[in-house]
Structures are given as structure tokens and as C-alpha cells.
Chain A
Amino acid sequence: MAPSPEQNPLADAPEPVEGVEETAGFRVSLTNFDGPFDLLLNLISKHEMDITEVSLSAVTNDFIAYLSHLDDDEELDQASEFLVVAATLLDMKVAGLLPQGELVDAEAVALLEARDLLFARLLQYRAFKEVSAWFARCLQREDRRHVRAVRLDEKHRRQTPELVWTLTVDDFAALALLAFAPKEIPHVGLDHLHAPLISIREQAAIVVTLLRSTESVSFRELVAGVTEPGIVVARFISVLELYRHAALSFEQLEPLGELTLRWAADTWSDETLATLGADYDR
């Protein structure tokens, strides 16, 4: 029950504190299983917490750390038994550990239920995450295997049944679109949290069009009729960006006075426009 530290499967778990040796014994206590409560108490005592205050995520982390050190299927089997026991007990917690005799208000119950629900989901998710490693391993192993997949001999090929073809040419084109669609697997992005509402590039395109159509234009004219402050800002930024690219010149006769802009680019391509303001994308 006191393995050496390097055998400790929880070495990289957060806050290993003083319960390290006990929890390291998971492997042992699984083989001579004393009873489900031992396990749960182990987990709880490790975090020196009242059972109603058990940090569910900490317990889960321990459990996962334990799981990650299991290798073969048999141990995975044991681990799933452990999962049943641990999760069931935690499930019982709501009913069993609510303060007796006190007035239990519905909100507190709901809170506890929500927490257990969270925990159940966490365990569930982690279980799938764990088992996905098995999938990865099997897929990888089988990828290397070579099955006999040889084209039929010509003489046998002639005897193959007719092909059933149901696609119209438009179906076929739709299928092609699907096939050419990028297959990359997207990650969970945070872009939607600060999606740019106004594109500097779009505004720059407007600015460029306006500037190239006349001799000179004031900034006031450039934003005439625009009510949205964001767009005014975006147009101003695009003016600065265009100035940086030497695509325009401006003159201001007095501080805070009228800003007059002139198109100054000898060469200009839409490509420049496409990358304009890229610094502002993030």
C-alpha cells in the first residue's frame, strides 16, 4: 500500500498532497477489493474535504490519472467496474448526504443535482475519451495490415452483376462538390466570441473606389451618410493602412482641420487590398 513514488500513477495529477500513497494504492486495492466505500473514502480523504464539498473535478482527475496507467483490456475491464462503483456512490450522495432534519430548500437540492449531473457527464465524457485511445490504437494497428484486395481476373470480371446506377448528372455534380469540400477537421474556435462585425478590408475597398473616382476627397465626404461609428473607425483605419502602402496622400492645413485625401498609388492590385488590415483580424 506504499509503493515507491516512481510507481505512483498519480504523479502528474494536480495537488497530490499527502494522500499520494493511498491513491497510488488504487492498483492494489482493486485486486484485493475491500469494499466500495474504501475507495470513495480514499478519494475524499485525499482531498481533505467534507463529502458534500468533494471537488468532483479533482476526483475525476484522479480517476483519469489512474485510468491512463492501465494498459491491457483486462485492466480496462477492471477500471470500468471501478467507474461503476465510484459513479454510483457519488450518485447516491445526493440522497444520502443531504443534511438530515434541516429544512432542505429546493434550490440546494437542485444545485447538488446539477453538480452530480455535471460529474456524471464528466465521467462519461472522460470514459469515452479514454476508450478513444483504444480506437486510435486499433485503427493504427489495422492501418498497417494488408488485406488481399486484388482486382478480379478478367475472365471473372465479365460475370459481375450489372451496376445499379441511380444518380442524375446533377446528383453527380452535387456529389463532386461534397467530395471537393475541404476535409479538415475543425477545432472548437473562439472566433465567434469576437467576430469582426465590420471588415476593414470591405471598408478599404469602398475608400479605394471613392478615391480613385475623383481628384481629391475629404474624410468628411468619405464618411458622409455613415451613422455607424464602427464603420467610421474602420474607414479611418483603412485610410491609415492605405497611407502605409503609399496608396494615398493627405493634407491637413490646421490641427483638427479638414483632412483632404488624394489617390497616390502608381500601381495597385486587388491583391494588396486582400491583405490590407490583416493586423486587425485578431
Chain B
Amino acid sequence: MSLAQLELDLEVFSGPFDLLLTLVLREEVDLLEVELADVVVAYLDHLEARGELDLEAVTEFLVLIAALLELKSRLMLPREDEELVDLEPQEAAEELLQRMLEAQRYRGAACHLHERLAAEEGVRYRSAPLPPELRRGDAPEVPAGAYHPARLSRSLGGLLRLPPRLDLRHLAVPRVSVAERLSHLRALLRRGGASFDEAVRGADRVTVAVTLFALLELHKQGEATWEQEGPFGDIAIMPVAAAPPPRAVAS
């Protein structure tokens, strides 16, 4: 299904998806007011009604909805973890802008090619073998030594070269392991327990997540248990069969 056919009926907008995109980019519709989840649901309904899955179209939808989500999250999220954002907001916006402009440029070019091909509809070229008397490439006519053998060794030599290793320094490599966080938690447990906030004080998001894995592991092993008084409250971690420590003040 072409995305252009996806008709939406949302609170703030009703019409084709393509138009919604255009209006959002022109700021005629406030993205913050668009329930993207409803767009997804509408799309899923369409897919179901159609009963077949066009992977190209689905991919296109995923890309567009992801771009909208990225844009919307930029609009609504207070602030991301400093460590995960190495671009200044302005740089990030500029990069996003350049990417959107570039993609738009080639989408335009793609439409042009579509039209060109359609305009050529009905023009056919002949494809027929040459009459026998004109067929070329008969062995006796081919000159010996037309190609240089060095071309072969050069090609093979080129294939032997290992490509240079990719420079991955710009990627954040997780340096924290479950084993390391396990021993950290066990040290805290030996002192009678701790709150989760204490266990991850000053840590980055990845470390927080790995610490949670370690905690689950300790629970599975029967070494630790925990208590959380309410949603989003701090988690008190304690050794199994030990009394909970005084609850830490939630930050």
C-alpha cells in the first residue's frame, strides 16, 4: 500500500498521511498535538484490511513515523542524559535538518525518474541477434593478447588486501559488566543493604540498567530481595532474611 493512500482521522487532523507530514513540516499542524500512536493504529488497521504485507511500504512507514517520533521527542523531552548526547542542540538540529533536506531532494529526483519512465511507456527497442554473417567474436577473429595478464594479478592482489579496520572510537563502548555490578551490590549487601539510588549514585544510564540486571540476578540466586513503597519510589535492597535498612530519602 502506498503511504499516500493512508487516510487518517485524528483529533487534530483528518486527511492523508502525506498531507499530515507536509503540514507538520510547515508547522501548520502542531506535532505535539498529534497522537502518533493513533497514526500507527490507523496504519495497522489498513494493513489488516489489506491482508498482505508490502515490506517496502512498511519500511517507508517505519522511517517516517520514526522521524516524526524523533522530532516529537525533541519537542517534548525535558533533557536527555548528557553522556548520550554529544551534539549540542543546535548541531543536532542542523544535522537533522541537513538529513531531511537531502532525503527530500532524492525523493524528488525519484519522482522525476518515475515520470520519465512513464513517459517512455510504449517505446520499445529491438533485441535480436545479429544475422549470422555479422556475428562477431568468432574465435579465429579474436586477436591474441588483447588483454594484459597483469590485469588478473592486480585484481587478485586487490582482493587479498584486508580492508582497513573501521574506526569505532566515536561509538560509546559499554565498559560496565554484570559481574562488576554484582560484586558492587554484594559489597553493599555485606554492609546490610542499600537503596537502589545509592547503588547507582552518579552512574550513567547504561550502568543503571546493568545494575538492575545484576540485582535481578541476585534475586534469582536468592541472595537479595527488595522493596519499593510506591511507583517511582526508591528501591530498598537487602540481603535475604535480613531486615530492611532505613528507607533512603528519595531524590
The answer to whether A binds B is: no
